[in-house]
A and B are shown apart, each in its own frame.
Chain A
Amino acid sequence: MALPELKVIGKSENHDKVGHLVASCKADFASDRLPLVKYYAASKGATVMRGVVKNVDASRALDLPGVIAVVTHEDIPIWNEAIFWWGQEVAGVIAEDPQTARYALTLIDVEYEERPGIYDPDESMRDGAPLIGVRPDSNYAVVTDLKRGDLEEGMASADVVLETNQDWTNTFQHNCMEAHQSLAWWVGDHVYCWIPSQHVFGAKNAIVNGLGLPANKVHVYTRFTGTGHGDKAGDIFTAATATMSKIVGGAPVLFEKGRYGSMLQHGRQFDLKSEIKWGANSDGKIVAVDAKFFGNGGVHTWAPVGNVHFGLRTTYDIPNANFQVTSVNTNTPGRSYWRCVNDPPGAANYDPALFKLAEKLDMDPYDVVMKNLLPDDAPDLDPPNRVWGGRMLKDMFEWCHQASGYANKYHKPGTKPLDDGRLHGIAITGHMDSHGGVNGAGRGAIVTMLPDGRCFANVGGARGCEGGPTICCHVVAEALGMKYEDVGLGRWGDTDTALDAGIQAGSTFTAGAGGAFYSAAMDLRKKLFEYAITKDGFRDIEGITPEDLDAEDSEVFYKGDTSIRLTYRQVMAGTPPTAGSGNGWGSTLRSRSVGGVPIGEPCNSNGSACTAVEVAVDTDTGEVEVTGMWNAVDTGRTIFKQGTDKEMWSGIELMLWQALLAGDVYDPATSACLSTQWTESMMITPLDFKGENFVAQDFESDDAAGPYGAHGIGEPCVTNYSAILCAIHNATGKWVDMNHGPCTPDVILKSLGKA
């Protein structure tokens, strides 16, 4: 869909407002405030997977010169004497330097009373398995159970019924460049904290609750985060730092977890398996699906596994269905938020299952997909049956098909050798994503215009990698009719001077905080136009009202005679700085009617993405080369063009990583996470792929709910690593068993019977 061109939004020449600080090493992170720091803290993890701390002998550590204090669960309110996973914090050291703090950890002797623990989620679900301790009466719970139509009748009417099983997908930690750390100090009964957080106000709330303090006595700041990907959604551990600071009289304490602590104690993506039963007619029409998913939440009962079925539920037109998700717990580190969290592992389950159905039907999987795609203007099949504010899956699938040359490249699985002896494979997958929609309720924004006619936005979120504050500047400039360069950032990531803009996550900030800044800018615009009609040039126009004015290029003009203009600087002359404020909104049709549903009605709002992948598989070594990748992402409206392009490219990299390299390594006997170092975590770098024939393409569906039609894209653009798995199958004719880890060559050789 070609959308009308806007003055500021979507312009490729618009640069990131603070990216230059990152590029010139001037970005300031939490631990860059070293001159403030007086003491350093480090923490020690448990060395049993389940048990109770019986005794902590810190005498040797306390004898070490430089050690100020040793803390345990008795001192830190968010720590616990009951141990549920290997690596859970049991003690900490406050010392004069970071080396001493960390070394002293090795001198603390912890005595445990061990209890039975479970590492394997299948074992955890076994009848009679011992309780792992995080739920009162079970190790698992059904968290989603949604029924549509008549499943039994649907299956009975099908020409073909196929039961498919996908084994566990990979679990992996985020490996943020900036590890978890926080700095805290007290002045009187006020606590001040610098932290790396994607949700600085969420972190503030965690500290307020963790310490039982009034909100006005908690001051939290985050200017930059060295990536988050969901791992820095709240950072409750700052409450521990604040407590440590209090123990040493309020002196500034820097608590650095490093790679080791971040890997052991913070969240990660969950591993997922499924049992999916299909009922289909011989022409490829799916008439029933019974989809059961099982997500391993580690010790987290709240692990966000409940929406893994979303893409399957909303992408396809299947009249009879049961979608069930079971959350399983184990004595392993908790699973939490990861970039896109539900959808990549969900798709890595239901897409291969769908391809197996296509194989059973002797059909091209693309044809099965297209035959069953829910029309873009159709309402949701499940109550309350809302339409989507913007959706263009069909166009994106067709673009992937055309751009990749799929029609001339597809072949039956395992049948096309290349000239060099490797096997060729190609696949296209895509889905409506559970992320990316408009979710601005509760988000706030302030925009201020200075007397010189320039404007700045105070953004209550950090500058992560995706340039959220820059997106806000685009929205403000567009709404106020200003030149992009006349809009800057005030303080951002500062809970003292900004409103809560919500979590700084790729799929939520654009449409959420963007909406709040739109509202704030429109509030300011109204005030400025009221000023303007009192100024020379406008005030002599008979009967003029603010509604008679408009603005562009930082000039306000009279709509009846566009030659009558004042710059914002002229409008602001003699006027003090003026602010506008506003809130974001939830998903409601705002800009246009959709499918006969009028403006003002609630709607669904989601991003979506499709990806085509072409691979060459070396069957001697199991190595996979991704030789082509076409990533189509529904942006709704592309706000920050450079940032969007970068997001889509990072999505490609992360899909490659998720499919081929990402995986935690756990010792099966102890459940110890062993992948605490870069060498074992196998982060992907630009040297790991050629990037030839890689294309990222934004599609604008004009979401009727979003500010200027925007979706968020940070999550949807990483969502289809299933395309890589399906392309590998198209090459080899075999499905891989990831067994909680990535699809590395050994896994492929195993599928080929060579290992």
Chain B
Amino acid sequence: MQTTTPSSLASVANNRDQRVPGTNLLGTGLETRGVHAWFGKKHVLSDVSLDFAAGTVTALIGPSGCGKSTYLRTLNRMHEFIPTAALAGEVLLDGQDIYAPGTDVTKIRLKVGMVFQKPNPFPSMTIGENVLSGLKLAQLKKSNTDDLLESCLMRAGLWSEVKDRLGEHGGSLSGGQQQRLCIARALAVQPQVLLMDEPCSALDPGSTFRIEETISELAKSMTIVIVTHNMQQAARVSDYTAFFLSDGGPGVMVETAPTSRIFSAPVDKRTEDYVTGRFG
């Protein structure tokens, strides 16, 4: 990894628009209390408590295997798809525990959307059908789908590129366009929170730039949590950064702070070592 000085990343973080929590009316956001995760007997995540204030972007950074993706997947209950997966602690959305007995998990996932590392449009559907697929999948009624289609593609920064080819299959787009299509698809069901699991790791710099623009635009209307390996990206897009680390045991959340402070004056020595490129 290229060695970067914390101050250069801090200046990147400082030069972006600063968002302050609580300045908009987007609900109370997402909180986790003492989240642990296991795969079988393996304890992979230990005691993570974090708040994601409504209308902010939080980056989760850390080396591979530190549990940050696992943690992200506990936030919309995708964690439980792995057959041996187990979990302890609470994830509160608007103050309600999403793991509470009797919860309809499909309703949770409508409120907490997700964009994956690898673009995964539905190949049997057209571009337009892909964007609106969430309505069909979740059996939501929507009267004016044309407007919704256009606004989702606009917000995902894809409209101008695809407006004349909405009937083509999703697979005909480039990787970066496919990923923005997946973002548009996630937006169509109007989530409160959007989780992004290394959304740019398979993309070229140009597409990455477009997606980062999209994230900044989206943060005006929703809460975003993004896992990234790219610290420049964390500095460019996030208001808060949480650093995860595993020393061979379960991953822990070492430190969380406003992004500019994580890169300028981290409290923990391990955070400093990581953000200055000494390891990881």
A binds B: no
- Chain B residues in contact with chain A, CB under 8 A? none
- Chain A residues in contact with chain B, CB under 8 A? none
